[in-house]
Amino acid sequence: MLEHTSLEEHDVYLFHQGNLRYSYQLLGSHLETYDGQSGVRFAVWAPNAVQVSVVGDFNQWDGRENPMTKMNDNGIWHAFIPDLERGTIYKYEILTPHGHLQLKADPYAFSSELRPNTASVVYPLREYKWNDEEWMKKRQATNIYESPMSIYEIHLGSWKYIEPEVFYTYREYADMVIPYVKELGYTHIELLPLTEHPFDRSWGYQATGYFSVTSRYGTPDDFRYFVDQCHQNGLGVILDWVPGHFCKDSHGLRRFDGEPVYEYANPSKAEKTQWGTLTFDFDRNEVQSFLISNAIYWLKEYHLDGLRVDAVASMLYLDFGKEEGAWELNEYGGRENIEAVSFIKRMNEAIFEEAPNVLMMAEESTSWPLVSAPTYIGGLGFNYKWNMGWMNDMLKYMEMDPIHRKYHHNLITFSLMYAYSENFVLPISHDEVVHGKKSLLNKMPGDYWQKFANLRLFLAYMYAHPGKKLLFMGGEFGQFDEWKDLEDLDWELLEYESHASTLSYVKQLHQVYQDLPALWELDHKEEGFFWIDANNFEQSIISFVRNSRSSNDQIVVVCNFTPVVYHDYKIGVPRHGCYQEIFSSDAEDFGGSGQTNGLPLQTTPEPWQGQDQHITMTIPPLAVSFLKRSSSTKEDKS
């Protein structure tokens, strides 16, 4: 029988207090040597179980062979089974208080069988030899708020596959994805959830194995290789993470020992009716240890650079996705889930203590205040929030025929009213190009040329707008069809000039973005932006300035949301001198009409649009121009 040391007893105490941040080291399956014998130590929390056994091929799935021992009255069962090795397949056989036997996968398993099989797999925690020390040191010293951040969101299985439901491995994806994303100039890759899940079409958002990287693409060390290679190539890795709910599959967390353990006992709080899933019991200490440890596990054991936390609003509100009468008020008469709010704050505090300088991004779709503010001033403690309001407004605007855009001008300007209330990411994610919403390119109005021009316009405005950037795969080359999760991307489109030019455009846009500190250095400070003209709704033209810490890096941005060309158009500018058009989305190389400003634009000392100077320029159709002042005299350079 395995004896527990005083340190382990202390860990058990912390686990039940909700304070064990590395509970995966206590629970689960671990290769160990005990009394000179090598084998596997198993431990599982099943407080209501009458008996628990470890079963697998090694004992013909016979629960009488390897019963576990209950450790005092704390609900933790443990056993040491000699001679078991890496790769052992197992489950827990649990006798419930109702007299039923059920087989459950290990909630803390590090690996799982390939679906449709559902057993857990013994896998060592730390055998992989990392080679990303340089990246990890650089990450620690980087000011993430004042650095460029452009995220490529990807679903591995439908980025490229061998054939339907047959995928490449993490290592093979590393060899294909990383050079592609690096060449385009992105700074980060964001992966849709990779925790083990039974159903491909849930895209990973309905998980069963929270500590188990999905076996669809290989082993845990294969995934570590993917992350390692990203880091060695200068790319950060963010993982979508889903602490809000879990699926009801019989081998998973639902009624784990015959009673609600991981989910709320109250059905009105437990049921996520919109998705057919169950909500974690955020008030239960052991569940807090489970979830907080899980977040830390991905950040520490896989060297991930951040987590994008899915569906935060579904955690914050008791009535989320529910009809009237199907939910209950909290103890203060409100609709907020008080325990979830407390958990989120506690989670973020723990994460930033254990893994400083990582990214914790909230997908929070309401106006909950201070999502990306520290907990000590009343915030939820994330450091970024997805700007869903900007996304909804801009896609609604861009889908309009340009002739109607002047009547909805506020949709492109309103976001600046709240742009500095949070640290925002501007997301064009998978959710916006699926379920009949059309691809990003196909949302755009007009003929073939205008669709591509509108796409270039939208992307340039997005990169000029305050906030970090995220674009879902396929958008970078103008995929015409919306995301088809059972197929891979339409790579054959790159044989056509318009799509190849769009890919080249995104690459050039990233180069310009990274080269211009004004487009990212003061993303989260009001002094990083001011309007030149926000009110020209008649022509649907806006102009503004992006600032960096150096006044010499100031960028003037002019956007025209109609297909009309304007010559000799006056734009107010903040300083005298010559302005050079350093980027135009209408350049012929990108498939544009070539209505660019090739010659320097000399200022005229006459006030215009609230500025002391102005320039006269050509405004290209459905396009964005970036202008930068070039010093022409010694006085100018001072």
User: Can you tell me the distance from the alpha carbon of 433 to that of 429, in angstroms, rounded to the nearest whole number?
Assistant: 7
Residue 159 has φ and ψ, to the nearest 5°, of: -70, -50
Find the helix packing angle between 388-398 and 448-464, rounded to 10°.
150
Q: Edge to edge, what strands does the sheet with 541-546 contain?
A: 529-536, 541-546, 555-560, 623-630, 578-584, 601-602
HEC readout, 435-495: CCCCCHHHHCCCCHHHHHHHHHHHHHHHHHCCCEEEEECCCCCCCCCCCCCCCCCCHHHHH
Among 113, 221, 222, 363, the one annotated catalytic: 363
Residue 219 has φ and ψ, to the nearest 5°, of: -95, 170
Residue 68, CA atoms < 13 Å, CB-side half-sphere: 29
* Radius of gyration (C-alpha) of the chain in whole angstroms: 27
Among 222, 301, 310, 586, the one annotated catalytic: 310
User: Can you tell me the distance from the alpha carbon of 60 to that of 444, in angstroms, rounded to the nearest whole number?
Assistant: 59
> Does the active-site annotation cover 310?
yes
Q: Which residue has the tokens 């202390």?
A: 10
DSSP 290-343: HHHHHHHHHHHHS--SEEEETTHHHHHBTTTT--TTSS---TTSSSB-HHHHHH
> Does the active-site annotation cover 57?
no
Report how far apart the first and last C-alpha atoms of the chain are (Å, whole number).
Answer: 78
Sign of CA dihedral 455, 456, 461, 467: positive
Question: Which residues are part of the catalytic machinery?
Answer: 310, 363
